[in-house]
Amino acid sequence: MIWPAIDLMDGRCVRLHKGDFDQRSSYDVDPVARAKAFADAGARHLHVVDLDGARQSAPCQSVQIGQIARQSGLKVQAGGGIRNSADIEILLAGGVDRVIIGSLAVTKPDSVCNWIAEFGAEHIVLALDVRIENHLPVPALRGWQDRSATNLWDVLDGYDGVARHLLVTDIDRDGVLGGANTGLYADIKARYAGYTLLASGGIGSLDDITAVKAVGANGVIVGKALYENRFSVQEALSCWPDG
Residue range 215-233: average pLDDT? 94
What pLDDT sits at residue 88? Answer: 97
Distances (CA, A) of 145 to 41, 106, 111, 161: 35, 14, 22, 29
Q: Is 28 annotated as catalytic?
A: no
The 10s digit of each residue's pLDDT in 114-138 is 999 999 999 999 999 998 888 888 8
Strands (E), 134-195: 136-141, 146-147, 165-170
Q: Is 97 annotated as catalytic?
A: no
DSSP, res 131: E
Contact criterion met (CB below 8 Å) for 219 and 241: no
| Of 178, 179, 195, the residue nearest 187 (C-alpha) | 195
Contact criterion met (CB below 8 Å) for 185 and 156: no
User: Exposure of 8 by Cβ count < 10 A (0-12 exposed, 13-18 middle, 19+ buried)?
Assistant: buried
Round to whole Å and give the CA distance between 114 and 158. Answer: 13
What pLDDT sits at residue 140? Answer: 83
What pLDDT sits at residue 21? Answer: 53
pLDDT above 60 (res 98): yes
pLDDT above 90 (res 12): no
User: Which residue type does 83 have?
Assistant: R
Round to whole Å and give the CA distance between 59 and 61. Answer: 6
What pLDDT sits at residue 84? Answer: 96
Residue 1, CA atoms < 13 Å, CB-side half-sphere: 17
Round to whole Å and give the CA distance between 174 and 127. Answer: 14
User: Which residue type does 185 have?
Assistant: Y
Residue range 144-168: average pLDDT? 87
What pLDDT sits at residue 135? Answer: 87
pTM: 0.90
Round to whole Å and give the CA distance between 125 and 53. Answer: 17
Question: Of residues 50, 52, 87, 129, which has the active-site annotation?
Answer: 129
DSSP, res 57: T
Structure confidence at residue 242 as a pLDDT band (50, 70, 90): low
Report the run of H or E that residue 175 belongs to, with start and end.
Answer: none
What pLDDT sits at residue 209? Answer: 97
Residues in the chain: 243
Domains and CATH numbers, the chain: 2-239 (3.20.20.70)
